[in-house]
Amino acid sequence: MAQLSDARVRAAVQYIERSVRAGQSISLATLARTVNLSPSRLRHLIKEQTGIPPAEYLHNLRMQYARELMETTFLSVKQVRSGVGFSDGSNFSRAFKRAWGSPPTEYRAKAMLRR
């Protein structure tokens, strides 16, 4: 990821990361208000400095956190799913498989074997 040179973008990214870890949903409008920018300007700055749009950045963080939870906890897939902000199980399974190459349950089984 590119260096985050704008303090507002750094603050927005930190807010996104805290929200993901807390299992909270977040909207671009709310995020923009927290850093005193319009949603379109914030979207432009985040994409410029991270290389990807805010929605994709948020999705990637959710998938990274889901992976971490699957590897390091005994939470059920349903608990992990809701903890990273997915309400639908099949959407979560598809997104997880797309990101990490196997469905959550299979991924966890492989991770446990590597321990």
pLDDT by residue (tens digit) across 16-42?
999 998 888 889 999 999 999 999 999
Residue 84 lies in a domain: yes
Looking up tokens 């199980």 gives 89
Task: DSSP for 26-88, please give it.
Answer: --HHHHHHHTT--HHHHHHHHHHHHSS-HHHHHHHHHHHHHHHHHHH----HHHHHHHTT---
Q: What is the CATH number of the domain that holds 110?
A: 1.10.10.60
Residue 70 lies in a domain: yes
Residue 2 lies in a domain: no
Residue 73 lies in a domain: yes
Count of domains observed in the chain: 1
CA 89 to centroid of chain Cα atoms: 16
Residue 36 lies in a domain: yes
Looking up tokens 């909270």 gives 24
Question: 1 falls in which pLDDT band (50, 70, 90)?
Answer: very low
Question: Do residues 21 and 10 make contact, with C-beta atoms less than 8 angstroms apart?
Answer: no
Question: Residue 85's domain spans which residues?
Answer: 7-114
Residue 28 lies in a domain: yes
Residue 58 lies in a domain: yes
Nearest Cα residue to 54 out of 35, 82, 81? 35
Sequence-ordered list of residues with C-beta below 8 angstroms from that of 13, at least 6 positions apart, any chain: 4, 46, 50, 57
Identify the helix (H) or strand (E) that includes residue 103: none
Query: What does the pLDDT look like over 63-97, one tens digit per residue?
Result: 999 999 999 999 999 999 999 988 898 999 999 99
Residue 1 lies in a domain: no
